Amino acid sequence: MGSLAFRVALAPPLVGRSSRHGARISGARYRLSRCCFSSQSAMASAALEIELIPCLKDNYAYLLRDASSGAIGVVDPSTAQPVIEALERRGLKLTHIINTHHHWDHTGGNADLKKRYGAQAREFFFFFLLSSFLLRRTKLYLIVAPPGDGIPGIDVPLKDGDTWMLGEHAMKVIGTPGHTRGHVSYYFADSRAVFTGDTLFSIGCGRLFEGSAQQMWSSLSKLAALPDETRVFCGHEYTLSNAKFAMTIEPNNPALNSHFEKVKQLRDSGLATIPSSVGEEKKFNPFLRPASREIRRSLNLSDDASDSDVFAAVRKAKDRA
């Protein structure tokens, strides 16, 4: 298991970009896009690099790079331009897009990115001393996504239990329906990273637009079973509002109270609260804590209520908040 290191490169505010949050947050968004997380393994010469890319109001896309193979993937691009800027800043060319589910704010950049980077390339190779050339067509770009979620243009359909290689890094597909019927999450064991889309948020989970509470609880249970050190890269910056809700139903949770202060400081500085970890989420995410007596009392649930029923009650309470 590789050690996880963080690299932060600060930059001046981005000039000329409009923002609902004003100039100060506009600059912070640029700094966030320069925040790069890398995982290095003693067994591999190259690291899987993970760069957070803010999109729209509160979405996050993630740029993944396997330096050894040159494979470059992006997870859930809401729009193309922030991804293009991140690629051009580093002199990279996109090879894959990886979607967790079909919602527009996770796939909105697909078409433009495929148009820009998806042309067929012709590569000529001199064959020994002969005066002929070998023509090879290489597909440079693939859409990798769950086939059951209605995402157009999929080149590599992936389902629960599949393993797909991004360069030299194995990506395991975990079926996580609930938010949508076909939602999946992607787990890189060697990089201790899971991309959860809109299933698991920091101190929260996604709304049940297409699935049932039972489905979502089953999906969250799969993610909670990953190693505690697994970093959770989710699709939105909802952590502060999620924490405020969590404190209404479990106000005496010391881990939650401590993390709430950390989250406020990060957001006040215009910084991301992502990634968290599976181990941390199990300590303060109310959607992963159905055994909490305080949560049960807050929601008037008995000790006999099933974990799935407690989860459903927490979800309903959050929907009303």
Residue ranges, the chain, pLDDT below 50: 1-45, 119-140
Say if residue 147 is preceded by a cis peptide, omega within 30 of 0: no
pLDDT of residue 118: 81
Residue 103 known to be catalytic: yes
Q: What pLDDT was estimated at residue 203?
A: 99
Catalytic residue among 66, 76, 190, 198: 198
Tokens of 195: 């991309």
* Annotated catalytic residue within 96, 169, 179, 259: 179
Active-site hit among 101, 169, 183, 259: 101
Predicted local distance difference test score (pLDDT) of residue 120: 35
* Interhelix angle 110-117/81-90, nearest 10 degrees: 40
- Active-site option among 96, 102, 103, 183: 103
Catalytic residue among 96, 102, 236, 259: 236
**What CATH number was assigned to the domain covering residues 3-320?**
3.60.15.10
Catalytic annotation on 58?
A: no
- What is the structure's pLDDT at 141? 54
pLDDT for residue 148? 80
- What pTM did the predictor assign? 0.82
Q: What would the pLDDT profile of 46-97 be if each residue is shown by its tens digit?
A: 568 999 999 999 999 999 999 899 999 999 999 999 999 999 999 999 999 9
Q: How high is the pLDDT of residue 47?
A: 61
Average pLDDT along the chain: 83
Half-sphere exposure of residue 207, counting CA atoms within 13 Å on the CB side?
Answer: 9
Question: pLDDT at position 149, please?
Answer: 84
- State residue 88's pLDDT score: 97
**179 carries an active-site annotation:** yes
> What residues does each domain of the chain span?
3-320
